[in-house]
A and B are shown apart, each in its own frame.
Chain A
Amino acid sequence: MKKFLSSGYIFLIFAILYAPILVLIVFSFNEGGSLSEFTGFSFTWYKELFNDEQALTALKNSLILAVLSSCIATVIGTFAALGLHHMKRKWAKGAITSITNIPMMNPDIVTGVSMMLLFVAVASIIKANNFMGFGTMLVAHTTFNLPYVLLSVTPRFNALDKSLSEAAMDLGCTPARAFFSVELPEIVPGIVSGLMLGFTMSLDDFVISHFVSSPNFQTLPLYVYNQTVHNVKFSMYALCAIIVATILAILLIVNFAGSMGERRSRKVKGGAR
């Protein structure tokens, strides 16, 4: 009885959680395009989606931005973690870590607004009138990716056996060489999870991009937003269905092959976004 109740409860909550998404997916195959009446099965909206150049460009932009911003953040963040690891002054370490965490603790909208103010001010100083665009998006995304990279890499550094790199240096390695050949291999898992986190964060971000974007560089979330504030084209339902299906596929593959869930939950514990 108890068992029945608990599985019933799980089922109910999941049903509610998935109902809207499922409705959207089902109705993406709707011939008429209405969201309240199913008139017939068709792939019309999918066809239209793949002819929609704006959506495809947005997808491309999203991928480029996510890859670049997560890579830059990973490089900067990893070196920062190294530097912090060797830093002796406790207060400096503490200060740097807490400042880095600001974009993670702050609501997205405040981060977005603050970035926008910076860019608008800079643009007015250098008298550029098309300052926003790929560059500002890249900067913003890299900035909010940084804390996640540090969050995943720092614990790896702390778990390092210091004597190893010291031994390497005693044997004649330069510190840089010691880092690349001794320490780096040890921290690779942390780097990879930081990269992943950054990649997904950047792919998913709407709010910050909303404030620092320009029309010549639209990402997928911005495209979806633009759709939903105007007359929604039904091909957007198809787009949503594809996104959900892709994420489900990736999650299933990864989860039943690896252990990504733990990583996501580490991010969860790291703080709020």
Chain B
Amino acid sequence: MTAVLAPRRPASGRPATRARGAGAVLAFGVPLALIGAVCLAAPLLPLPDPAAQSLSAALRPPAWLSGGDAAHLLGTDHLGRDVLARILYGGRLTFLIAVAGMLAGAVPGTLLGLVSGFYRGTVDAVVSRFVEAQLALPFILLAIAVIAGRGRSLSALVLVLALFGWAQYARVIRAETLSLRERPFVLGLRCAGVPAPRILLAHMLPNVAGTVLVLVTLQIGTVILAESALSFLGLGVVSPQISWGAMLADGRDQLTHAWWVAAFPGLAITTVVLLVNLLGDAMRSWLDPKKRRY
């Protein structure tokens, strides 16, 4: 009942905890939405053309350093392209790939989790082995294998990200469904002869929606990191398309004499992924005060 070792906070009322949870969700969600909005609105902003090359303006440092130019706030890369403009335009593609890759994994993963948790037996055994097998394949190696076969393209990238993401959803949603199916309301529906697909989609799915939402959020961060790693290795987006990972790959070669080319896109990735992870954590404790681990 009590614990000397684990300092317990005095019992706090649940409404207060929930309000604080909602506050945290806003505190991380709003900046994230702002960053997203700025990236989306990039073409409307007074920015240099992200693809415009100018060798005379190559490798300008950020504006506040000596030799900097107010027209290029975060400096320019080796082809004289504006780093800030490229980060904002690159953010569009990064977010697009993140959302597409996340959805491509979330939809089949959630459905498989629901089905295997609900029907159990053989279906469950098969899905569970596939989940384990997916975890066994080192992601980037798997991505390399697929892209080596198909060639680089956006669709190959999204396919790889889906292959990477689905297992996490399937695993967690399966566990959730397993406990949900024993709840009285589900037993009642089954006794009343409601067909299984209807129970699954109309009654179970809404009940796991909160968990899916949290997973989706956390997964977006993972997908952004995965995409950046692939683009960094030259397996992701193809020039002239811009993503943050691809910008990092460019910056690597200038590292010793122009740190800003690699530093800022990486900072952008870290900031966005950190915000996404904080948001996911906040949503989890908001939606699930019992703090289940997954």
Check if A and B associate: no
List residues of chain A with CB under 8 Å of any chain B CB.
Answer: none
